[in-house]
Structure 1
Amino acid sequence: MDIIFEAESGMGQGIAKIVTHPAEQGQWGNIEAAIQAAERRILVINAKNDRNVTIVTSTIAVIEPEGRMCSVRVITGEMFLLNTRLKFALEVLDSPRFMKINNQTIINTSYIKEFSATDNARIKVNLTDGSYYYVSRYYMNNFRRSYHG
Structure 2
Amino acid sequence: MKVIFEEDTTVEKRLAKVITHPAEKSKWDRIQKAICESETQLTVIHAKNNRNIQIQLSSVVAFESEDRMCCVRVISGERYLLHKRLKFVEEDLDDLHFVKINNQTIINTRYITAFSATDQARIKVDLSDSSSYFVSRFYIKNFRGKLS
SS at match of 2:145: helix
What residue number does 1:24 align with? Answer: none
SS at match of 2:144: helix
Per-residue CA deviation, residues 102-133 of structure 1 (Å, 9 max, x unaligned), is: 01110000000010100000000000111100
Aligned residue pairs total 121
Unaligned residue ranges in structure 2 (runs of 5+): 1-25
Per-residue CA deviation, residues 54-82 of structure 1 (Å, 9 max, x unaligned), is: 11000000111112110000011101011
What residue number does 1:129 align with? Answer: 129
Q: Could you tell me how far apart the structure 2 residues matched to 1:58 and 1:66 are?
A: 21
Counting only pairs closer than 5 Å after superposition, residues 66-77 of structure 1 correspond to structure 2 as: 66-77=66-77
The reply on whether 1:103 has 2:103 as its aligned counterpart is yes
What residue number does 1:41 align with? Answer: 41
What residue number does 1:145 align with? Answer: 145
Q: Could you tell me how far apart the structure 1 residues matched to 2:78 and 2:93 are?
A: 18
Q: Could you tell me how far apart the structure 1 residues matched to 2:53 and 2:92 are?
A: 15
TM-score (norm: length of structure 1): 0.74
SS at match of 1:87: helix
- Conservation of the 8 A alpha-carbon contact between 1:112 and 1:125: yes
CA-CA distance at 1:3 after TM superposition: 5.5
2:41 maps to amino acid:
R
Per-residue CA deviation, residues 26-46 of structure 1 (Å, 9 max, x unaligned), is: xxxxx9xxx97x301111100
What residue number does 2:14 align with? Answer: none
SS at match of 2:29: coil
Q: Could you tell me how far apart the structure 1 residues matched to 2:115 and 2:85 are?
A: 27
What residue number does 1:115 align with? Answer: 115
TM-score (norm: length of structure 2): 0.74
SS at match of 2:120: helix
Q: Could you tell me how far apart the structure 1 residues matched to 2:135 and 2:90 are?
A: 17
Q: Could you tell me how far apart the structure 2 residues matched to 1:144 and 1:92 are?
A: 21
2:81 maps to amino acid:
L
